[in-house]
Structure 1
Amino acid sequence: MNFIEQLNWRYATKRMVADKAVPQEKVNTIVEAFRLSASSYGLQPYNLLIIEDKELLKQIQPLAFNQPQIVETSTLLVLAVWDKATQERIDAFFNLIASERGIPVEALAGYKAMVEGRVNGADEASVFNWMARQAYIALGTGLAAAAIEEVDATPMEGFNPDALDELLGLSAKGLKSVVIVPLGYRDEANDPLANAKKVRKSTEDFVVSL
């Protein structure tokens, strides 16, 4: 399987086959790709929610401008960023490193000070935007994994995040939704873009050599 061919194959699917569920092993692979994605400092200041309940998906659809993929999907992924980079969360991150690598947490003091300097030295909006960018790195990794698995994945910012957060009770979890991704299989009979040519800048226009 050629990675570039699969990237050419993928697109932001507008309609999905409602009765064709993505096999669990493929969902697991895509979720694992999100988990293993790069993030600044390795901090992963976000969580991935998996929603498969059909009734809940129906409640989410009007919050996402009634886009049909929301109820046609078998699995909806929600990337949600920490509302705040608290000291407790930073401490938990470094305790995890120490535990996984079998080293004393004190050995990570310099590294920890660097992370604390990044999140403590800026206003909350700036830190949140930085954390959201980390989630988007994970999004790119997840979309690429879905393409390899030949699963359609449509990234969506077109939803009401405050309303979705309230519906899902994310405030109590210290999270804020930033992007949602329905997984499924393209409905070629009803999606006008299913057989459309992929349009991107040419390499010559895209790459700037210095």
Structure 2
Amino acid sequence: MDILSAAKKRHTAKAYDAERRIPEEVMQKVYDLLRNSPSSVNSQPWHFVVANTPEGKARIAKAAAGGYSYNQSKILDASHVIVLCARIDMDEEHLNRLLEQEGRDGRFRDAAARAGQDAGRRGYVRQHRYGSKDVAQWLEKQVYLALGTALLGASTLEINATPMEGFDQKILDAELGLNEKGLSSLVLASFGYSSDADFNAGLPKSRLTQEQVFTFL
């Protein structure tokens, strides 16, 4: 399936077939898409918690109680659920980990290139931490790039997906011990196969026209 067809075909699944499981080799492609998503200055400020068992999904569903109960079935009936987490800050350990990995992967032709990459990335961190004072929001934006990559990728793999912001972040952060790891839950994504109850599967896609959303200079 070409990428434009996948974009036009995909929809947000509203109900899942609880009896159908996505093969792990297919989900591995989703994991690879997430890991290879773009991020500002290659910051990769994310961590992904995967629930692929009934017990794991039940833990995630604890955060979809009360006013968010409409999302519980999308968590419990899906094949896999991924919690997309953002780093709370770009600390020294993470900055060094990035630089070391880039070195192992052959990103630097010499020591000057390595130093330049490190200085450039740290410059962006300083700007967002002390200039615009929006470092948390900056990091969260990178995680949403990964979410978009995964949602489009799921369509190319012919599986369904549901992004969800409707959950209690504090409950989930505590359940998974995220804050102690320097992380915060940001958005959920369920993956699986739609059931007959997925009304959104049969509805036409609706988007504003090109004339309304593009300005050509």
Q: Normalising by structure 2, report the TM-score.
A: 0.90
1:122 aligned counterpart, secondary structure: helix
Mapped partners of 1:83, 1:186: distance in 2: 34
Q: Deviations over 1:73-115 (max 9, x none)?
A: 1111111111111012101111111222175666411221121
Count of equivalent residues: 209
Deviating more after overlay: 157-166 vs 116-125 = 116-125
What is the letter of the counterpart of residue 194 of structure 1? A
Q: Normalising by structure 1, report the TM-score.
A: 0.92
CA contact (8 A) 1:98 1:105 kept: no
Q: Deviations over 1:45-83 (max 9, x none)?
A: 111121112123223224121211100111111111111
Aligned to 2:6: 6
Unaligned segments of structure 2, at least 5 residues: none
Mapped partners of 1:102, 1:178: distance in 2: 30
For residue 14 of structure 1, report the CA deviation from its aligned partner.
Answer: 0.7
Aligned to 2:203: 196
1:99-110 equivalent positions in 2, closer than 5 A: 99-101=104-106, 107-110=113-116
2:201 aligned counterpart, secondary structure: coil
1:48 aligned counterpart, secondary structure: strand
Alignment counterpart, residue 69 of structure 1, candidates 55, 66, 74: 74
Deviating more after overlay: 134-143 vs 109-118 = 109-118
Identity of aligned residues (%): 30
Q: Deviations over 1:148-182 (max 9, x none)?
A: 00111111111111210110111222211111100
What is the letter of the counterpart of residue 123 of structure 1? R
Aligned to 1:175: 183
RMSD: 1.7
What is the letter of the counterpart of residue 199 of structure 1? S
Mapped partners of 1:202, 1:158: distance in 2: 28
Mapped partners of 2:16, 2:171: distance in 1: 24
Aligned to 1:37: 37
What is the letter of the counterpart of residue 30 of structure 1? V
2:189 aligned counterpart, secondary structure: strand
